[in-house]
């Protein structure tokens, strides 16, 4: 077994959901994970934890009613010590936090002020932020004195100009209730746009990128000189692209229609838009892109229609971001679908031939399953925009930000934005 002590300065990255907790021990220098795992079904029946350490998979049942605290205790007592990892090997804990509202444009060291600011944003992310707070509390108990850093999904999009984030609603809704567009997946968009600049051999301040993060949740961002200037998700992760089970953009009059004419209650509307729509709703078959591609190839009309709408709507967003950015250096595909589906990428790019996009079929098939690189034709002219496939790595960003903040000896007590970019 490799000596973990040689890997001092690692960051324990925690991503606490309402009933799950993903954890990983990451080396911030290279993004390598010596340990990764998932606590699942927390607060429900048969909670469990599964993990991979040194390439070996393990799993265990947790006591009934176990929540985030029990998972973290299990990680400390059973996994870390069992794997020969000392607490001294861990330099910091990095937490993914979904919503930082307008309070955080960067990652920050967690202190009382930051905790209360995350609490203030609960109304904007009622499922996620309370879980993050539970995770922070549990980690504080398990690792007393260890610095903890919060990395916000919304932070990267705080550079959006007002024209991109204000809804055409009465302005007091923004002023009094913070109702505006925030955007999500910021950590991923930031990672892949920085990586795209590296691949283009340029500084991030010198490139404009359109970044399409396509997973079960999906969003797209227009990034100008390294800064997000627009993105498709809004106040909540429901706006924008067609997703696995979320509808994305719809006529807001639909909500009135459902409520007033069809007698839906709020819970039914919420379930309909968030859980029963998107690829699943259209296809009446599955939210899973892989399954839909297979079914579409076998002639399933619902699957064919779902994929067609998914690609059409994505292509429309990409085209509109050409209008947002003065020029586009590269379009990046990432997320489970963006990284793996040659079918979706080709279908989308074929709809954008008018903008100069071209796809090389062989390269497109090669860039899957963790591969990184360009998929436009090698002999493309200067009018052929670069199209890059870049596997995202949000855990690495979280680990890097945490390490950077610790190294800079940032004034934690102030709770001011620090680190990140
Ligand atoms: P999440 O948003 O839950 O993190 P992921 O980024 O893991 O989601 O993406 C999940 C999506 O990626 C699913 O729709 C899945 O079908 C799709 N996907 C994964 N591998 C492939 C593949 N080889 N071809 C097509 N789609 C794929």
Packing angle of the helix pair 112-120, 129-142 (nearest 10 deg): 160
Query: Residues of CATH 3.30.420.40 domain(s) within the chain?
Result: 4-152+397-413, 203-390
| pLDDT for the residue 419 | 37
Which of these, 146, 15, 17, 35, lies nearest to 93 by C-alpha position? 146
| Confidence band for 86, pLDDT divided at 50, 70 and 90 | confident
Alpha-carbon distances of 221 from 118, 228, 243, 266, 373, rounded to whole Å: 24, 7, 15, 30, 19
pLDDT over threshold 60, residue 175: yes
**Residue written as token pair 């300065």:** 9
pLDDT over threshold 90, residue 54: no
Residues 215-250 have pLDDT tens digits of 999 999 999 999 999 999 999 999 999 999 999 999
| pLDDT for the residue 3 | 41
User: Does 288 qualify as catalytic in the annotation?
Assistant: no
| pLDDT for the residue 410 | 62
pLDDT over threshold 50, residue 2: no
User: What is the atom index within ligand 1 of the atom nearest the CA of 369?
Assistant: 23
DSSP tag of 236: S
Which of 336, 338, 339, 394 to mutate for ligand 1's pocket (most ligand atoms within 8 Å of CB)? Answer: 336
**326 Cβ contact partners less than 8 Å away, ≥ 6 residues apart:** 208, 224
User: What is the pLDDT averaged over residues 90-116?
Assistant: 97
pLDDT over threshold 50, residue 100: yes
> Out of 40, 153, 329, 360, which one is annotated catalytic?
153
Which of these, 194, 206, 160, 131, lies nearest to 421 by C-alpha position? 194
Tokens of 331: 């379009």
How far is the centre of ligand 1, averaged over its atoms, from the C-alpha of 374 (Å)?
20
Q: How far apart are CA 136 and CA 16, in angstroms?
A: 9
Q: Is the CB of 216 under 6 A from ligand 1?
A: yes
| pLDDT for the residue 57 | 96
Question: Is residue 378 classed as helix, strand or coil in its secondary structure?
Answer: coil
How far is the centre of ligand 1, averaged over its atoms, from the C-alpha of 81 (Å)?
33
How far is the centre of ligand 1, averaged over its atoms, from the C-alpha of 339 (Å)?
8
How far is the centre of ligand 1, averaged over its atoms, from the C-alpha of 242 (Å)?
14
Q: Is the CB of 294 under 6 A from ligand 1?
A: no
How far is the centre of ligand 1, averaged over its atoms, from the C-alpha of 189 (Å)?
17
pLDDT over threshold 60, residue 74: yes
**Residue written as token pair 């600049």:** 197
Q: Which CATH class is domain 203-390?
A: alpha beta
Q: Is the CB of 340 under 6 A from ligand 1?
A: yes
150 touches 105 (CB < 8 A)? no
**Radius of gyration of the chain measured on its C-alpha atoms:** 22
Q: How far apart are CA 385 and CA 311, in angstroms?
A: 18
User: What is the pLDDT averaged over residues 143-169?
Assistant: 97
Which of these, 276, 226, 215, lies nearest to 247 by C-alpha position? 276
Residues 297-323 have pLDDT tens digits of 999 999 999 999 999 999 999 999 999
| Confidence band for 381, pLDDT divided at 50, 70 and 90 | low
pLDDT over threshold 50, residue 372: yes
Q: How far apart are CA 78 and CA 62, in angstroms?
A: 12
Residues 388-421 have pLDDT tens digits of 999 999 999 999 999 999 999 864 333 344 333 3
User: What is the atom index within ligand 1 of the atom nearest the CA of 293?
Assistant: 25
Q: Is the CB of 183 under 6 A from ligand 1?
A: no
| Confidence band for 87, pLDDT divided at 50, 70 and 90 | confident
Residues 183-198 have pLDDT tens digits of 999 999 999 999 999 9
The average confidence (pLDDT) of the chain is 93
Question: Is residue 171 classed as helix, strand or coil in its secondary structure?
Answer: helix
Question: Is residue 208 classed as helix, strand or coil in its secondary structure?
Answer: strand
User: What is the atom index within ligand 1 of the atom nearest the CA of 218?
Assistant: 2
Q: Is the CB of 290 under 6 A from ligand 1?
A: yes
User: Comparing 118-132, 171-185, 293-307, which segment has the lowest mean pLDDT?
Assistant: 118-132
| pLDDT for the residue 55 | 85
| pLDDT for the residue 8 | 67
Residues 328-338 have pLDDT tens digits of 999 999 999 99
CATH number for the domain formed by residue range(s) 4-152+397-413: 3.30.420.40
| pLDDT for the residue 4 | 40
User: What is the pLDDT averaged over residues 343-356?
Assistant: 97
User: What is the atom index within ligand 1 of the atom nearest the CA of 392?
Assistant: 6
Q: How far apart are CA 153 and CA 383, in angstroms?
A: 33
User: What is the pLDDT averaged over residues 34-46?
Assistant: 93
């Amino acid at each position: 077994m490799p000596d973990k002590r040689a890997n001092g300065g690692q960051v324990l990255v925690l991503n606490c959901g309402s009933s799950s907790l993903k954890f990983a021990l990451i080396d911030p220098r290279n993004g390598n994970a010596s340990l990764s795992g998932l606590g699942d079904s927390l607060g429900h029946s048969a909670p469990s934890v599964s993990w991979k350490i040194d390439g070996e998979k393990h799993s265990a049942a947790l006591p009934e009613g176990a929540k985030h605290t029990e998972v973290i205790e299990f990680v400390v007592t059973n996994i870390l010590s069992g794997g020969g990892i000392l607490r001294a090997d861990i330099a910091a804990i990095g937490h993914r936090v979904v919503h930082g509202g307008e309070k955080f444009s960067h990652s920050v060291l967690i202190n009382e002020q930051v905790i209360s600011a995350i609490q203030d944003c609960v109304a904007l992310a009622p499922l996620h932020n309370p879980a993050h707070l539970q995770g922070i509390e549990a980690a504080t108990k398990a690792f007393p004195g260890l610095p903890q850093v919060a990395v916000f999904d919304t932070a990267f999009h705080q550079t959006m100009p007002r024209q991109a984030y204000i809804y055409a609603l009465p302005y007091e809704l923004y002023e009094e209730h913070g109702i505006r567009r925030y955007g999500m997946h910021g950590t991923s968009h930031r990672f892949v746009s920085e990586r795209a600049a590296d691949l283009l051999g340029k500084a991030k301040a010198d490139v404009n990128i359109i970044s399409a993060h396509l997973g079960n949740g999906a969003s797209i961002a227009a990034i100008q000189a390294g800064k997000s200037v627009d993105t498709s998700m809004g106040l909540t992760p429901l706006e924008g692209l067609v997703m696995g089970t979320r509808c994305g953009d719809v006529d807001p009059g639909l909500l009135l229609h459902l409520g007033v004419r069809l007698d839906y209650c709020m819970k039914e509307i919420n379930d309909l838009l968030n859980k029963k729509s998107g690829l699943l709703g259209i296809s009446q078959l599955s939210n899973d892109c892989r399954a839909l591609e297979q079914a579409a190839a076998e002639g399933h009309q619902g699957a064919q229609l779902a994929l067609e709408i998914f690609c059409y709507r994505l292509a429309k967003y990409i085209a509109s971001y050409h209008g947002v950015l003065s020029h586009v250096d590269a379009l990046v595909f990432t997320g489970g679908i963006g990284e793996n589906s040659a079918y979706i990428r080709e279908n989308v790019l074929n709809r954008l031939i008018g903008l100069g996009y071209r796809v090389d079929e062989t390269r497109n098939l090669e860039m899957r399953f963790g591969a990184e690189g360009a998929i436009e034709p090698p002999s493309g002219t200067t009018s052929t925009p670069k199209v890059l496939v870049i596997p995202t790595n949000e855990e690495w960003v979280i680990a890097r930000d945490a390490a950077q903040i610790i190294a800079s000896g940032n004034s934690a007590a102030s709770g001011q934005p620090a680190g990140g970019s």
